[in-house]
């Protein structure tokens, strides 16, 4: 039996294709109303804090301010609001993305909020609460010098991506598909931090950078 653990997750954009029309949203509850109906677990209430594991290298969801120590971003704001509902403080634990589920299972934190895509494989390890629907995108240098327009165009090209991500899974699967078709596979370069993967594109060490659509838009 797997341990009980909770993740606040980014639902894959693919889920939109089967969703249909959503019902009209009801009036947003006030902080007071939510606080009255949500009771913090004894362990969290006693500690006086809610510890979140997140990857603070993934703007705009989580990144450091100019001082280099203050975590900010949409995920950080959500973590702070949940803690407010429970009458405790929020504490951010900056955790490498590729080991973030292991950190949760080891009780290093109470919740995880790293924009982690909700997949069947991950649901075997943790419980998800989906709060965001996004897709995956490729970023290329200005002018698109390698003429990359589809995943098929990545044959023989180098791509930077974050380790442990579904972006990496997608590139790996596509690379295998290309190889099986007799074409050159994708030269995948994995990095622990998403910011490190992005920097490789800026330094022109790779032909493309793969990440979530929210990061590319930011």
- Cβ atoms of 159 and 210 within 8 Å: the answer is yes
**Full set of structural domains in the chain with CATH:** 6-134 (3.40.190.10), 137-217 (3.40.190.10)
- Give the pLDDT band (50/70/90) at residue 27: very low
Please name the residue that has the structure tokens 């659509």.
213
Q: With a threshold of 0.75, does the pTM exceed it?
A: no
At 38 the pLDDT is 66
pLDDT tens, residue by residue, 129-187: 888 888 899 999 999 999 999 999 999 999 999 999 999 999 999 999 999 999 999 99
Residues 214, 42: Cα–Cα separation, whole Å: 36
Angstrom distances, CA of residue 71 to CA of 16, 40, 60, 178: 30, 24, 11, 40
Residues 185, 187: Cα–Cα separation, whole Å: 6
Residues 108, 96: Cα–Cα separation, whole Å: 13
Rounded to the nearest integer, the mean pLDDT of the chain is 84
At 129 the pLDDT is 86
- Give the pLDDT band (50/70/90) at residue 32: low
At 135 the pLDDT is 87
């Amino acid at each position: 039996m797997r341990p009980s653990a909770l993740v606040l997750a980014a639902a894959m954009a693919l889920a939109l294709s089967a969703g249909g029309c959503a019902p009209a949203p009801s009036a947003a509850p006030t902080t007071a109303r939510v606080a009255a109906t949500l009771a913090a677990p004894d362990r969290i209430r006693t500690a006086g804090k809610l510890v979140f594991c997140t990857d603070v290298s993934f703007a705009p969801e989580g990144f450091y301010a100019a001082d280099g120590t203050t975590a900010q971003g949409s995920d950080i704001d959500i973590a702070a609001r949940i803690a407010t509902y429970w009458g405790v403080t929020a504490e951010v634990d900056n955790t490498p993305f590729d080991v973030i589920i292991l950190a949760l299972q080891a009780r290093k934190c109470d919740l995880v909020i790293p924009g982690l895509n909700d997949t069947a494989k991950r649901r075997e390890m943790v419980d998800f609460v989906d709060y965001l629907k996004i897709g995956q995108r490729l970023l290329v240098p200005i002018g698109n010098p390698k003429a990359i327009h589809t995943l098929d165009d990545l044959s023989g090209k180098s791509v930077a991506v974050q380790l442990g991500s579904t972006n990496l899974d997608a590139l790996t699967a596509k690379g295998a598909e290309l190889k099986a078709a007799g074409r050159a596979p994708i030269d995948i370069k994995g990095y622990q931090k998403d910011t490190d993967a992005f920097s490789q594109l800026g330094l022109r060490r790779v032909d493309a950078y793969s990440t979530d659509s929210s990061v590319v838009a930011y």
